Amino acid sequence: MAYAFTQDLPSTKDMYLAISREVGDQPPKGMIMHLAFEIESGMRIVDVWETEADFDRFAERLRPILDKVLQAAGVSREQMGEPDTQDMTPVEIFVPSIGKRLF
């Protein structure tokens, strides 16, 4: 079953972009879509994954990257705090650019 979420991160755009560069251009297995927006309190992420397990595997890979970027910025994970996360179950995923419904 597809898994989606939004996260509001107490992060700067520069920190987000540093994390993104470390992750690289190769999409993680199971990722369907990733959007990032700058908002007043930091960054908002909207992700859609084939399964929650796919995201969990990616999150394991992401943790050391996050720690590296936070350390370079002089910020601890405790100072950063936890993101405000809203889990969602997609009813439909339609991607007009590829001309099909994914779910």
Report pLDDT digits (tens) over 44-53. Answer: 999 999 999 9
pTM score, two decimals?
A: 0.87
The average pLDDT across 36-46 equals 96
Q: CB under 8 Å, gap of 24 or more: what pairs does 67-74 form?
A: 68/22, 69/15, 69/18, 69/19, 69/22, 70/15, 72/18, 73/12, 73/15, 73/18
Q: Which residues pair with 3 in a beta bridge?
A: 49
Domain boundaries, the chain: 3-101
Looking at this protein, which amino acid is placed at residue 94?
Answer: F
Residue pair 87/5 in contact (Cβ under 8 Å)? The answer is yes
- Determine whether domain 3-101 maps to CATH 3.30.300.130: no
> Rounded to the nearest 5°, which phi and psi values hold at 77?
-60, -35
